Structure 1
């Protein structure tokens, strides 16, 4: 198990630690980032974190009756707020962190979930922090996706409910680094942050489908999250793998809120229950992960004042008009593409349009900071659009900086609809280049398009805690691309293995101001007919009452 690192006490020391981790965790054509070398199957982590001794509340499976359409959410059209009760809390988790299916092959069986994860390892854990609700006691509850239940970690004393103003609750997300490090070694911390971003987006979309707002509370620190979710209770882990605090989301109807300071004080007085299960009997220590996690830990900060998103026309309708419930459970990570399927330019532009932040549109309505991530796209098979290298500049304020940081001979020709900030750098067939950059993986060349997400990592030089949110913003983009691909009748998949500096050299980027942090690809999937698909939960538990 990872040891606790020595504290990095100065900002300059934290910046140096973050930069060292980023450099050492890069893949390069001549060598990959340090990893386990082989998979120790005997110590493969248990995919389920559970709390022995915690009382369980069974959540109903009621999402089949939810009428909200994905196309409506893309236009910012949310339904009236649903009641805060057990049934609707169940829907929130059913469409965000729950299982979407079981797969079987050759005697093996594994679960898929609504929130994407690198290697299907799922390091992200979710906690509900709520007042007393119809059917659910007040307190801190861990969500166990295997059984679709809430485990009550903390039963609060008097004063707890008063800290929630209006119809409100909190969702805390944490990461178990070992789940990813078992397979990916040093680079695992990056993937945990991607997956946290995926989960933020999944929770945001599910909340919006219920008419609830969801927003990351950017002022709180990681220590606040650890205290509220009980992650700092060392004895409760007792040799089990620890969880790192990541984000805290405010859920509720308009005008609702939560007094985090009051809850933190009340959490100290609560009756905490349960012991964490141990996921593996033996572990490999990756000290670099512990060091970067400590260096990038977020302190309390002033609440961000992100500028209002630019006024944009409504997003074009997706190819398929699907309900949020259908789309969330249909989402899959493609393992191969056919190398033939093309998408229309109109569909391609609509997918990119969904990556632009719009007021009131999830998941961007949940993100408190201005856009710092901009996709560089390898367009392969888009009918009506030249193949080549493009950039989508998600914030107009970033255009000059990006253009100045790249090769001086790029074209920067405006492409697509007038409001879409898409620029052609060079028209060229770059399938071989995309495959090479993505660790020689054919999925980057056999798709309709692939992309790398350029993040403004220069922010870390002033505030090292910003390193993690950059990856999480990439994860938000990834989850939107997953949903958009499915709604277009295609499939997508995240690519965590890529040659970092090869991508930078291609674009002409130098220095540390911009780095590619995540890659993604969308195309026509090749389905594996050998796999059997089974429903995620027993049909007897489903509630079929129509929902608005």
Structure 2
């Protein structure tokens, strides 16, 4: 896992022996291999040396670090206004804006301590708090930020100037964000299943960035770029700069849009000058998981030509999921139930997001508290406007203790065209009925047309959910437990030249994006959420009615929402008390907008 694999063969020869079909078989083989079963867990380390965890912070040694200002405490925008069109005036693209964007998305949110143990938590959630996601900024003509490529250092809240230079055929203030993954951070603890978790984390980071951009009045635009080109753009293919350091996987590229009139632009470096050597995170790894490198290579995305057209069968996402809008009607306005936190400052709520470690098993909540959360999952509003134009991940909700909603299983479909498949797999020949009282209550609350389909009543489901979620009480003690179901077969495509192996990453990105919605909407409702990556895959599928070997739907992520029980033994400290104040940049600049020498 310490070497970048060569680019995959993306040619699309005919028939089931084409390179694309072969890569899909590798993806499917990995997915089966990495499943947890009731009789066995996916392969992982037999022991962990907690005193020798990988360094949670990557640095590029020798690259110039520019500290960013900390300004989240000065943000006065309430959370519920974040979703009102035109409520936020766009800030200029400059160093202050970039600092706030990253402070509200990829930065530290607190330091925690229990006894002798002290650790950092971040704004963007991560499996096991391991944080495989790395953030990058590409800048041009931004006041206070040098042109070129920067790596974001979250502990320092600063930018490491990885490559200096300008982008060709581009003028005026421009900025792009990119994300990459260090698979070893997750594999150190979770073994072969770790690739899934790293991809879910990309979806979480995508949602965190979109919420943060909205606070600034900005949007984010997906930039189509193949994995090989993105690795070259970020310098991830520079062997000499990594040595024995753990390599990073290219994931995705976003353009920051402060003005809707700004054209879509792909950054094309003219002549960059590189600096910095990647720090090594784990000098004494005890295990190797070569299957992760195999699935990473098999699922790389195809290259994109200069016109923005992708390789065979890519299905480049649109900027807004129109299919969702057609299902849910108009973009709903956020309703604010009594006792919620939706009137609190957006910056406060974003930074206070935490994964609940325990839920109050006796707590109950009224349906009105959960309705905004459920409606948002079916809505085209942010951050889901960064998802695919045709959503492939649907929500199955297991309701435990919600007043006004009978205990049992409910479906939230997210794509109208998927309804026949969902009914065939989950409902058999039973005629589905939308829960009409719930729809009327949602409509009266200003939440649009909520399509919540009751599948079955089951007041004794909590114990089953605890078992399915690796025997964790989080599954039984929550108010609501959710399974995010991906259209697996349809997404990966047929076993011929129409195969789309990169859709495997896309499915987990979409599931992680939904997870970020659940985290923040739970906080806004005065509750808490917890993402669960450990669950028994095929036992869950059997509960849903899938026969062994039927992969039309696959559960990609589990999530629980409830009333948290806080651990009083854990103390909290501010995230950047260790940092000196950041001074404003000098007023004098050269012709390129860089600080004058």
**What is the TM-score when the length of structure 2 is the normalising length?**
0.86
2:423 match: 403
1:470 match: 507
2:65 match: 56
1:44 match: 53
Cα distance, 1:434 vs. partner? 1.0
2:592 match: none
Matched, 1:337 2:339: no
Cα distance, 1:528 vs. partner? 0.6
- Residue range with higher mean Cα deviation, 404-413 or 126-135: 404-413
2:254 match: 249
| 2:203–2:511 contact (8 Å) kept in structure 1 | yes
2:277 match: 275
2:574 match: 535
Cα distance, 1:323 vs. partner? 1.7
1:356 match: 378
What is the alpha-carbon distance in structure 1 between the residues aligned to residue 5 and residue 211 of structure 2?
36
| 2:142–2:173 contact (8 Å) kept in structure 1 | no
What is the alpha-carbon distance in structure 1 between the residues aligned to residue 27 and residue 407 of structure 2?
36
What is the alpha-carbon distance in structure 1 between the residues aligned to residue 213 and residue 405 of structure 2?
36
Alignment of 1:436-451 (within 5 A): 436-451=467-482
Alignment of 1:120-159 (within 5 A): 120-157=129-166
Change (3 A) 1:238 1:106: same
Cα distance, 1:526 vs. partner? 1.1
Alignment of 1:485-524 (within 5 A): 485-510=522-547, 511-524=550-563
SS at match of 1:141: strand
SS at match of 2:212: helix
Once the two structures are superposed, residues 206-244 of structure 1 have per-residue CA deviations (whole angstroms, 9 ceiling, x without a partner) of: 001101111222x21112221221111111111101100
| 1:175–1:245 contact (8 Å) kept in structure 2 | yes
| 1:224–1:264 contact (8 Å) kept in structure 2 | no
SS at match of 1:153: strand
Once the two structures are superposed, residues 169-198 of structure 1 have per-residue CA deviations (whole angstroms, 9 ceiling, x without a partner) of: 110000000000000000000000000000
Alignment of 1:121-520 (within 5 A): 121-157=130-166, 160=167, 162-163=169-170, 167-217=173-223, 219-253=224-258, 254-257=260-263, 259-260=265-266, 263-266=267-270, 269-283=271-285, 284-300=287-303, 302=309, 303-305=316-318, 308=322, 309-310=325-326, 311-312=329-330, 313-317=332-336, 319-320=340-341, 321-358=343-380, 361-408=381-428, 412-415=432-435, 416-418=438-440, 419-429=449-459, 430-458=461-489, 459-461=491-493, 462-510=499-547, 511-520=550-559
2:590 match: none
Change (3 A) 1:3 1:250: closer
- Residue range with higher mean Cα deviation, 491-500 or 304-313: 304-313
Once the two structures are superposed, residues 29-69 of structure 1 have per-residue CA deviations (whole angstroms, 9 ceiling, x without a partner) of: 00000001211335411000001111111100011112222
What is the alpha-carbon distance in structure 1 between the residues aligned to residue 284 and residue 52 of structure 2?
6
Match for residue 30 of structure 1 among 36, 39, 52: 39
What is the alpha-carbon distance in structure 2 between the residues aligned to residue 211 and residue 235 of structure 1?
40
| 2:2–2:245 contact (8 Å) kept in structure 1 | no
| 1:124–1:176 contact (8 Å) kept in structure 2 | yes
What is the alpha-carbon distance in structure 1 between the residues aligned to residue 220 and residue 365 of structure 2?
32
SS at match of 1:376: strand
Change (3 A) 1:36 1:77: farther
Change (3 A) 1:317 1:434: same
What is the alpha-carbon distance in structure 1 between the residues aligned to residue 155 and residue 87 of structure 2?
29
Cα distance, 1:257 vs. partner? 3.7
Change (3 A) 1:467 1:63: same
Structure 1 unmatched runs, 5+: none
**What is the TM-score when the length of structure 1 is the normalising length?**
0.93
What is the alpha-carbon distance in structure 2 between the residues aligned to residue 20 and residue 42 of structure 1?
34
| 1:131–1:139 contact (8 Å) kept in structure 2 | yes
SS at match of 2:144: coil
Change (3 A) 1:229 1:332: same
What is the alpha-carbon distance in structure 2 between the residues aligned to residue 332 and residue 272 of structure 1?
37
Once the two structures are superposed, residues 286-327 of structure 1 have per-residue CA deviations (whole angstroms, 9 ceiling, x without a partner) of: 111000000000013534456523332323236221222001
- Residue range with higher mean Cα deviation, 455-464 or 90-99: 455-464
RMSD of aligned alpha carbons:
1.9
Structure 2 unmatched runs, 5+: 10-18, 310-315, 441-448, 494-498, 585-597
What is the alpha-carbon distance in structure 2 between the residues aligned to residue 410 and residue 507 of structure 1?
14
What is the alpha-carbon distance in structure 2 between the residues aligned to residue 411 and residue 380 of structure 1?
24
Change (3 A) 1:257 1:140: farther
Across the two proteins, how many residue pairs are aligned to each other?
534
What is the alpha-carbon distance in structure 1 between the residues aligned to residue 416 and residue 81 of structure 2?
26
What is the alpha-carbon distance in structure 1 between the residues aligned to residue 79 and residue 156 of structure 2?
26
Change (3 A) 1:374 1:119: same
Once the two structures are superposed, residues 137-181 of structure 1 have per-residue CA deviations (whole angstroms, 9 ceiling, x without a partner) of: 111011100010100001005xx27525x5531100000000000
SS at match of 1:151: strand
SS at match of 1:56: strand
